[in-house]
Structure 1
Amino acid sequence: MQEPPLLHLRRFFSCEAGLGWRVGTILIALCVLAPIATLCWYALQGTAGHWSHLLSYVLPTAFLNTVLLLVGVGVLVTSLGVGSAWLITAFQFPSQRILSWALLLPLAVPTYIVAFAYLDILHPIGPVQTLLRDALGYDSPRQFRLPDLRSLPGAIFLLGFVLYPYVYLSTRIMFSTQAASLLEAARVLGESSRSTFFRVALPMARPAIAVGVSLALLETLNDIGASEFLGVQTLTVSVYTTWVTRSDLAGAAQIALAMLAIVAVLILTERHGRRRQRYASTQRTRAMQPRKLKGPAAAVAFMLGWIPVVIGFVAPALYLLNETIKHFNRVGSVSDQLLMSGYNTVKIALIATVATIACGLVVAWAARTIRNGSTFTLPRLCARIATSGYAIPGTVLAIGLLSPIVFLGNLGAWLWKLLGNADPGLLLMGTTTALVCAYVIRFLAISIGGIESGLARIPPSMEQAARLLGETSSGTLRRIHLPLLRPALGAAALLIFVDAMKELPATLLLRPVNFDTLATWLYAEAARGTYEEGSVAALAIVLAGLLPVVLLARTQFKSTQ
């Protein structure tokens, strides 16, 4: 029986349940909602002329490019991810064990770094086209050249080969847990291997595919570096140019609202795909046994399996390594500005990681301490709101955080003057506060998800015993749960730290003057057409990104054994 709202609200704010944790949860949820509310307010400030200009000249092209990019990337990541997952699960061939985790490696390379690398690799006078002309007997790019990578098909190709691991990971887990008896029954009834895949295995994996594709498309929508490098005018790029180049904040907010509409469609699609994700069996199922391939079939499987890894990770990583070695051989060191960018990156990522873990702990613990039979609780609602920040593109967050940061800065200055001190001026604007807030909102879903998973492994009887012995809610968390949560906290912190190091859109728009991170340094180098120190910054980001990928690969490999 669902309890009345007023009774639930009284229970929520009761001292027994932990008033501080509940208030903190509400404040965190409001902080996530604040950028959206601010964005709507900004958009309403635009005049009819703003809307008319955007609808006539900006939105049609940007919206069409964005939709075509999402459709193309969606088709490519689905094909690569599902195909790779089935290849690894259903067949056994040389290097299959290594390939099972190597297919995750493209996750370590941000999309803008892949675009940065391939713009030089596939340049008309780059190594690939030069080698092809030499092999075909041509002397100059005028005689033979590949299609220009700076195009919408080029962006679809590169983004698809970087983001397919989202689909591969979720789909492979689903394929690995499917009962072999179902597939064998289909074969006994006369279905071929191909028909068994399309009529049995694939329909059962549709919820996992929907989740993976949605994540890949959200990353595509958030991308700004790769799209701009490749000359594709997407909504994200339009927000950046409208705000920074034209100083039109209202217009940028209006474009950002169009992006939020696409985000809402993607989330609804993902929820629709998961609505029937309930497959149960009263018996212990036997996992599917891969079929061993030999001869030409094994060679084809080997080639098909490694192509995504080579294109999505090996080629750009080797290019960056080669360019870094050439840079050190030529110069012998990196500039002081690049070293400062590296220091800024680590510093801001550490601050954001600590803040995000702390906020995630507040939300997860607040939801843990209230348990009843209701399907709707205020802590659960706040947790869902707090995790929605990951779906908000960085450019949208950047615009939405302007007014809240200014308001908090003015409030702090007013309180400071109220105590009899001199006017401190702008307290928060011009600092890294807005940048940290954007990181926290965007990556809070990682923190809450990791901590809730860790808490789920701790039996409620432990905290009940502590409370019976007179321990408070905070004391129970500090003395019992935090030591047991160390693995979950460490894994979540690692993922947040690396994602913060790679974040580009929000950093470009919210960084203080003369403040660079490795991501913005690389963006500036690519914008100038210089690839020397940019490759050093890119290689550092890739090496940092390898850490969570290796951790993820180890975890998933054990879970599918």
Structure 2
Amino acid sequence: MDIDIPHTAPLPPTPRRLPRRLDEHALAWLVAAVTLVPLGVVLASLWQPEGEVWRHMAEFVLPQLLINTAWLIAGVAVGTLGLGVSLAWVTAIYDFPGRKHFAWALALPLAMPAYVLAFVQIGLYDFTGPLQSLIRDVAGDSSWFPSIRSRGGVILTLTLVLYPYVYLLARNAFLTQGRRALEAAASLGLSRRQGFWRVALPMARPWLVGGVSLALMECLADFGTVATFNYDTFTTAIYKAWFGLFNLTAASQLASLLVMAVLALALLEQRARGDKRYTATGRGAANRPERLPPWRGWLVAGACLLVLSLAFLVPMAQLLYWAWTVAAEQLDLRYMGFVGRSLVLSAGAAGVVVVLALVLAYAVRRKRDIASRLAARLATLGYAVPGTVLAVGVFIPLAWLDNHLITAAHALGWPGVSEVIKGTLLVMLLAYAARFLAVAFEPTQSAMQRITASQEEAAASMGLGRRAVLWRIHLPMLRGGLLTAALMVFVDVMKEMPITLMTRPFGWDTLAVRVFEMTSEGQWEMAALPSVAIVLAGLIPVILLAVQTERHA
């Protein structure tokens, strides 16, 4: 008896899935493209030079820009290094009246945007300011008083704002070196002062290089301060080329020179650190502060108070006074619009940047190879690049795409289309993402590293897939890191001026833009109220950072 056995059709071949490594690499490099595309566009302008543009810049623009920038970098480097290291040493090693309070309070100038301190300095110390007016009332003449509207005034202002970068890192270095380093120096017959120069300072070299490099990168990226002082640097030249001369080509080529300067600074920092290792002696050997004699202790306390007063207390008091005098006039629906747009932009940018940082951190965690680490390194380069450069680099490709979309719309019979992407918030959000991705990536990656492989393996053994592990394991455990990242980005966007100024849609003025417009017209009092709001927002992460530093000291 024949039995017919049904023949089932062969199963179709299972489609080959792409390797997970490729998927994760694609995610990492897609996030990195947010930064690499603007930088690539800016640098590509060097290969398309326009003869007349370069001749004009070489004859009338570049020489003065190079001289001004060189003086600024040299002055800020010397100022931040001297001020930051000296304050870090006395608060870490010695005990004097108010030491515990000065230890965290000396970081407060980080909350003061440089462009805010700039116009307060001019308002206080200019010829018509209260200080010179008092000098004339008392002595009859103030012509001997140094002009604040000078190269020295710019350097002083940026030094007072940026020295906390060196101070915080140097103090951490001195605290972690421990007593054994100084005891070893003393056993060799060195005094405490000689131990500082020959032991403590060389051991703190990586921290000092990192702090000065951060200060100089912020110096190169600064726009508001130099614009307030009318001190031309590359950032102001880029802005003038775009909005003054309406020459985007000249703006992009100036931006490319600035990018190369920033990259050269980053390479110099890496080379200065070298392969040397500097090992601390451990928390158990922490320094016990040496009690200074009363007269010397009060002298040190007075010096700390003087720096803190110049950098934060006096400017903040002046801002509050100005804000109080104009509050009744300024607190209207228009001012509420500045506040509302600032909050919307900051919150939106924080959300976008944190999502990108999470994707990048997750991709790097899944495959810890050279390609993923390189993508993360390149993606976070934007924080070292000035906002004016990123504004140009984001706008050029989006303008090119916008023109093609408009042409396609006209071809389809939609002649009324004039803008698709330009003039929207997308341009600003992309520039913010390129600029501040590093700010969100660091705390996100640090929180991601606290999740152990055994926790993921336990979740997988319970049948959870990768997506379920991300939602049910990673995100709850990353909540603190993600909140920190969102807060840092929120505050940075609140303070950010050049990207907002150069890419904002029509009518989207923020607090930072309001400050720029008022200071451009010399109306310091009118700029005070939005400045106070920006400073108060900036105090949040500074206080959290100071508390965390003291907790681990």
Match of 1:130 in 2: 133
Counterpart selection for 1:339 from 336, 340, 364:
336
Q: Please list, as runs of the form range in 1=range in 2, the aligned pairs for 1:397-476 lying within 5 A after superposition.
A: 397-409=390-402, 424-476=417-469
Shift of 1:456: 1.4
Distance 1:58 1:422, change over 3 A: closer
Residue type of the alignment partner of 1:248: N
Shift of 1:125: 2.0
CA distance in 1, matches of 2:458, 2:94: 50
CA distance in 2, matches of 1:385, 1:417: 38
CA distance in 2, matches of 1:525, 1:284: 49
TM-score, normalised with respect to structure 2? 0.92
Shift of 1:378: 1.6
Q: Please list, as runs of the form range in 1=range in 2, the aligned pairs for 1:71-470 lying within 5 A after superposition.
A: 71-136=74-139, 138=140, 144-276=143-275, 278-280=277-279, 285-328=284-327, 331-371=328-368, 376-409=369-402, 424-470=417-463
Residue type of the alignment partner of 2:419: L
CA distance in 1, matches of 2:20, 2:263: 37
Shift of 1:40: 2.9
Q: 1:53-99: per-residue Cα shift (whole Å, max 9, x none)?
A: 11111011011101110110010000111111101011001110011
Residue type of the alignment partner of 1:492: A
Greater CA deviation, 73-82 or 305-314?
A: 305-314
Counterpart selection for 1:29 from 25, 29, 32:
32
Match of 1:3 in 2: none
CA distance in 2, matches of 1:252, 1:85: 40
Q: 1:360-409: per-residue Cα shift (whole Å, max 9, x none)?
A: 000000000114xxxx5221111111111111111111111113223454
Distance 1:365 1:553, change over 3 A: same
CA distance in 1, matches of 2:285, 2:302: 29
Distance 1:283 1:39, change over 3 A: closer
Distance 1:332 1:250, change over 3 A: closer
Match of 1:545 in 2: 538
Where in structure 2 are there 5+ consecutive unaligned residues?
Answer: 1-16
Q: 1:276-328: per-residue Cα shift (whole Å, max 9, x none)?
A: 45234798750111101132101111012222211111111111000011113
Distance 1:290 1:514, change over 3 A: same
Q: Match of 1:180, SS?
A: helix
Match of 2:481 in 1: 488
Residue type of the alignment partner of 2:44: W
Match of 1:56 in 2: 59
Shift of 1:336: 3.0
CA distance in 2, matches of 1:531, 1:182: 49
CA distance in 1, matches of 2:211, 2:291: 28
Are 2:25 and 2:371, in contact at CA under 8 Å, matched by a contact in 1? Answer: no
Where in structure 1 are there 5+ consecutive unaligned residues?
Answer: 1-12
Shift of 1:494: 0.8
Are 2:182 and 2:192, in contact at CA under 8 Å, matched by a contact in 1? Answer: no
CA distance in 2, matches of 1:396, 1:333: 33
Distance 1:368 1:418, change over 3 A: farther
Match of 1:529 in 2: 522
CA distance in 2, matches of 1:451, 1:214: 23
Shift of 1:273: 3.0
CA distance in 2, matches of 1:125, 1:57: 33
Q: Match of 2:211, SS?
A: helix
Residue type of the alignment partner of 1:242: A
Residue type of the alignment partner of 2:321: N
Match of 2:14 in 1: none
Match of 2:50 in 1: 47
Greater CA deviation, 300-309 or 422-431?
A: 422-431
Q: Match of 1:270, SS?
A: helix
Are 2:178 and 2:282, in contact at CA under 8 Å, matched by a contact in 1? Answer: no
Greater CA deviation, 356-365 or 297-306?
A: 297-306
How large is the Cα RMSD of the aligned pairs? 2.2
Q: 1:315-357: per-residue Cα shift (whole Å, max 9, x none)?
A: 11111000011113xx455243322111111111111000000
Residue type of the alignment partner of 1:539: V
Shift of 1:413: 6.6
Are 1:87 and 1:305, in contact at CA under 8 Å, matched by a contact in 2? Answer: no
CA distance in 2, matches of 1:465, 1:267: 42
CA distance in 2, matches of 1:158, 1:283: 37
Are 1:17 and 1:473, in contact at CA under 8 Å, matched by a contact in 2? Answer: no
Shift of 1:225: 1.1
Distance 1:282 1:554, change over 3 A: closer
Match of 1:9 in 2: none
CA distance in 1, matches of 2:34, 2:161: 32
Distance 1:288 1:366, change over 3 A: same
Q: 1:465-491: per-residue Cα shift (whole Å, max 9, x none)?
A: 222333222221211111111111111
CA distance in 2, matches of 1:406, 1:284: 54
Whichever of the two has the greater Rg, that structure is 2
CA distance in 1, matches of 2:411, 2:468: 36
Distance 1:34 1:423, change over 3 A: farther
Distance 1:530 1:75, change over 3 A: same
Are 2:178 and 2:280, in contact at CA under 8 Å, matched by a contact in 1? Answer: no
CA distance in 2, matches of 1:235, 1:420: 43
Match of 2:4 in 1: none
Match of 2:503 in 1: 510
CA distance in 2, matches of 1:94, 1:399: 50
Are 1:395 and 1:509, in contact at CA under 8 Å, matched by a contact in 2? Answer: yes
CA distance in 1, matches of 2:415, 2:26: 32
CA distance in 2, matches of 1:307, 1:55: 43
Are 2:186 and 2:195, in contact at CA under 8 Å, matched by a contact in 1? Answer: yes
Are 2:124 and 2:130, in contact at CA under 8 Å, matched by a contact in 1? Answer: yes
